């Protein structure tokens, strides 16, 4: 295939994370340590254009077209119900993106600006809180104010409510929308945003953001105000703007009707760059430019049409990418297991793959102090209390081999739960633990764990028990099977025996009585999101997991 022929762009998002006890003191009793498997998020984007051009050239007089292929057809396009990748992609085309989030920062697009404390459109006011009011306590939990509830008062001090009204801080954020129009030509107003909030709140009362919203109201034709409940100071406040819904079309319906209506869930009227002109079930969705899009004078959108085509399987996606019938293959249509195929195609000049880190990392946690009768004090030696043991296990783990064999070397290794590139990433404050079995074995010797009977396994110096432990995880991942095989081999090289145990996800990730959150494990492998701001609160003492967050009655810890 010549260089001038159609080329495809393949983007794969994979993250292999490593977490060490390097930040956010004090740390919890469950210590994250070393990396494990990659996330299975894969993006495939194939553009039938030269790599320097973002759009397709005119073909057969039909203008600049883009064909997106996926194996998933949307279930709904109702703004407050859609959550799959293809549904989100279509919503980005139909509705204006009021706030975007790139490179760990918020950007205003449909809004005039991102509100800030410096500009005065973000404010903290003092309000009187009294018994029965809904507040956020010092632990971040929603509470009805009652005697004994600890809150942060307006002076920034922890105060236990004693029944007398007290002053607390309350956050207010003012948003200003850019003037724009619905695709039927009607002007978008602030009341459309408030209507959207009311419909969302009526259907999703348990939503995190809705539960912490005291009020959302219009303050002008194109301005709204979000008010949080007392005690809730939200670092992610730019996301508290509700993207509008056309009240003039949907206002006569009840909230429970909207997910089922053609005009809100199948052919919604939006304020974005495109509008749906045709939906052929099982075949395709066709979009054309919104004739009333407020940025038409800027030459936007660049494309004359976008078609989402629904295909039966990944092979069909790949074949149509190669033939040029598809320009983009959505990430949900392929998996990390397809990486060898894509790399082989790249080697033969058929496509160019790109790999992008995802926003989830996989890691292994140590069960330092277990709960109840699982371990400590009931026959299991306190394997991980000594930091040298934890450090040795980290240095005994060949994470680069895991990355090479599981994700073909396309994933970076992390040394903390904050990824490089994050504005709060501080490499000078991080201690990295490289793969070094010699140093790891020396640390274990120093800690007193030696192979006295020369059977290949170290023993606990107090009990003589062989250093044999289990690692738990949720079932259903082929990558975890391979990862645990590598991990077990690594640990054998350091005189430790590791047995894998898999649980149903509902059991593993259950409530405080589950193996994971009930602290009933030796080692635990699971995925966790990269938060913004970083999830440092997870390392606070009040985040120690276990039934009802109580002390272990058997050990006092």
How many independent structural domains does the chain possess? 3
User: Percentage of residues in the chain with pLDDT exceeding 90?
Assistant: 64
Q: Is 400 exposed, middle or buried (0-12, 13-18, 19+ CB in 10 A)?
A: middle
Say yes or no: 533 and 404 in one domain: yes
Q: For residues 288 and 422, what is the distance between their CA atoms, to the nearest angstrom?
A: 37
Q: For residues 555 and 198, what is the distance between their CA atoms, to the nearest angstrom?
A: 49
Mean pLDDT, the chain, whole residue set: 85
Longest pairwise C-alpha distance within the chain: 83
CATH of the domain at 301: 3.40.190.10
Last residue of a domain, one of 298, 333, 368: 333
Residue 111 belongs to some domain of the structure: yes
Say yes or no: 282 and 378 in one domain: no
Asked if pLDDT for residue 499 goes beyond 70, the answer is yes
Say yes or no: 283 and 401 in one domain: no
3-state SS of 346-410 is HHCCCCEEEEECCCEEEEEEEECCCCCCCCECCCECCCCCCHHHHHHHHHHCCHHHHHHHHHCCC
| Degrees to nearest 5, angle at CA 502 with 393 and 40 | 80
Say yes or no: 376 and 495 in one domain: yes
User: Which positions ≥6 away from 51 have C-beta within 8 Å?
Assistant: 7, 9, 352
pLDDT of residue 352: 73
User: Percentage of residues in the chain with pLDDT exceeding 70?
Assistant: 85
pLDDT in tens, 237-280: 999 999 999 999 999 999 999 999 999 999 999 999 999 999 99
Q: For residues 213 and 7, what is the distance between their CA atoms, to the nearest angstrom?
A: 48
Q: For residues 246 and 223, what is the distance between their CA atoms, to the nearest angstrom?
A: 16
CATH of the domain at 185: 3.90.76.10
User: Hey, how many other C-beta atoms are within 10 angstroms of the C-beta on 466?
Assistant: 18
Say yes or no: 368 and 486 in one domain: yes
- Tell me which of 519 and 387 has the higher pLDDT: 387
pLDDT in tens, 67-114: 999 999 999 999 999 889 999 999 999 999 999 998 889 999 999 999
Say yes or no: 74 and 105 in one domain: no
Q: For residues 371 and 375, what is the distance between their CA atoms, to the nearest angstrom?
A: 7
Mean pLDDT for 7-17 is 31
Tell me whether strands 352-356 and 9-13 are parallel, antiparallel or unpaired.
parallel
pLDDT of residue 550: 53
Residue 4 belongs to some domain of the structure: no
Say yes or no: 424 and 497 in one domain: yes
Phi-psi region of 95 (alpha: psi -120 to 50; beta: other; left: phi over 0): beta
The answer to whether the CB of 206 falls within 8 A of the CB of 184 is no
User: Which positions ≥6 away from 125 have C-beta within 8 Å?
Assistant: 169, 170, 172
Last residue of a domain, one of 200, 222, 243: 243
Q: Cite the DSSP H helix spans in 217-272.
A: 247-250
DSSP annotation string for 283-326 = TEEEEEE-TT-TTGGGT-SS-SEEEEEE-SSHHHHHHHHHHTS-
Say yes or no: 287 and 365 in one domain: no
pLDDT in tens, 457-483: 999 998 899 999 999 999 999 889 999
pLDDT in tens, 48-78: 332 323 333 344 445 799 999 999 999 999 9
- The SS3 of residue 547 is helix
Angle of the 478-492 helix axis to the 399-407 helix axis, nearest 10: 150
Residue 349 belongs to some domain of the structure: no
Say yes or no: 90 and 56 in one domain: yes
Say yes or no: 324 and 372 in one domain: no
Residue 88 belongs to some domain of the structure: yes
Residue 522 belongs to some domain of the structure: yes
Say yes or no: 521 and 418 in one domain: yes
Q: For residues 287 and 64, what is the distance between their CA atoms, to the nearest angstrom?
A: 12
Residue 181 belongs to some domain of the structure: yes
Say yes or no: 189 and 267 in one domain: no
Q: For residues 416 and 399, what is the distance between their CA atoms, to the nearest angstrom?
A: 14
Domain that holds residue 78: 45-95+252-333
The DSSP symbol for 345 reads H
Most confident of 24-28, 295-299, 374-378: 295-299
Q: Cα dihedral angle (362, 206, 264, 78), rounded to 10 degrees?
A: 0
Residue 393 belongs to some domain of the structure: yes
Return the closest-CA partner of residue 530 out of 13, 11, 15, 12: 15
Last residue of a domain, one of 185, 209, 243: 243
CB hemisphere CA count around 160 (13 angstroms)? 3
Q: For residues 94 and 285, what is the distance between their CA atoms, to the nearest angstrom?
A: 12
pLDDT of residue 376: 61
pLDDT in tens, 115-144: 999 999 999 999 999 999 999 999 889 999
Q: For residues 35 and 38, what is the distance between their CA atoms, to the nearest angstrom?
A: 9
Residue 555 belongs to some domain of the structure: no
């Amino acid at each position: 295939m010549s260089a001038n022929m159609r080329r495809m762009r393949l983007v794969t998002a994979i993250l292999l994370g490593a977490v060490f006890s390097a930040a956010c003191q004090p740390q919890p009793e469950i210590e994250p340590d070393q990396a494990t498997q990659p996330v299975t998020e894969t993006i495939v984007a194939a553009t039938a254009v030269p790599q320097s051009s973002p759009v397709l050239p005119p073909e057969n007089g039909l203008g600049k077209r883009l064909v997106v292929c996926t194996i998933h057809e949307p279930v709904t396009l109702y703004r407050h119900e859609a959550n799959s990748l293809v549904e989100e992609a279509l919503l980005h085309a139909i509705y204006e993106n009021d706030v975007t989030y790139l490179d760990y920062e918020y950007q205003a697009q449909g809004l005039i600006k991102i509100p800030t404390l410096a500009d005065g459109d973000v404010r903290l006011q003092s309000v009187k809180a009294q018994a029965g009011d809904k507040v956020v306590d010092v632990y971040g939990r929603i509470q009805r104010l009652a005697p004994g509830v600890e809150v942060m008062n307006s002076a920034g001090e922890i105060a236990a409510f004693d029944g007398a009204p007290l002053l607390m801080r309350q956050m207010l954020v003012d948003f200003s929308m850019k003037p724009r129009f619905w695709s039927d030509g009607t002007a978008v107003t602030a009341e459309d945003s408030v209507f959207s909030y009311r419909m969302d709140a009526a259907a999703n009362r348990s939503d995190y953001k809705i539960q912490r919203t005291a009020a959302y109201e219009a303050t002008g034709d194109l301005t709204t105000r979000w008010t949080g409940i007392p005690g809730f100071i939200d670092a992610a406040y730019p996301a508290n703007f509700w993207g509008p819904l056309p009240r003039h079309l949907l206002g006569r319906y009840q909230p429970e009707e909207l997910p089922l209506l053609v005009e809100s869930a199948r052919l919604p009227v939006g304020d974005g760059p495109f509008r749906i002109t045709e939906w052929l079930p099982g075949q395709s969705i066709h979009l054309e430019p919104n004739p009333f899009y407020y940025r038409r004078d800027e030459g936007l959108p660049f494309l004359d049409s976008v078609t989402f085509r629904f295909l039966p399987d990944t092979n069909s996606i790949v074949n149509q990418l190669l033939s040029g019938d598809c320009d983009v293959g959505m990430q949900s249509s392929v998996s990390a297991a397809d990486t060898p195929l894509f790399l082989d195609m790249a080697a033969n000049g058929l496509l160019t793959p790109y790999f992008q880190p995802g926003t989830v990392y996989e890691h292994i946690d140590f069960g330092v102090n277990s709960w109840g009768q699982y371990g400590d004090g009931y026959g299991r030696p306190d394997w991980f209390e000594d930091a040298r043991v934890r450090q040795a296990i980290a240095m005994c783990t060949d994470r680069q081999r895991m990355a090479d064999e599981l994700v073909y070397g396309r994933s970076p290794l992390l040394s903390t739960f904050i990824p490089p590139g994050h504005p709060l990433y501080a490499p000078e404050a991080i201690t990295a633990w490289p793969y070094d079995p010699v140093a790891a074995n020396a640390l274990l010797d120093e800690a007193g764990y030696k192979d006295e009977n020369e059977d290949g396994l170290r023993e606990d110096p107090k009990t003589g028990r062989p250093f044999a432990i289990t690692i738990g995880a949720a079932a259903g991942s082929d990558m975890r099977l391979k990862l645990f095989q590598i991990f077990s081999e690594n640990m054998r090289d350091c005189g430790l025996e590791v047995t894998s145990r898999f649980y149903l996800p509902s059991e593993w990730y259950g409530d405080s009585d589950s193996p994971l959150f009930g602290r009933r494990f030796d080692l635990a492998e699971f995925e966790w999101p990269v938060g913004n701001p970083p999830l440092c609160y997870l390392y606070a003492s009040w985040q120690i997991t276990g039934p009802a967050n109580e002390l272990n009655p058997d050990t006092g810890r």
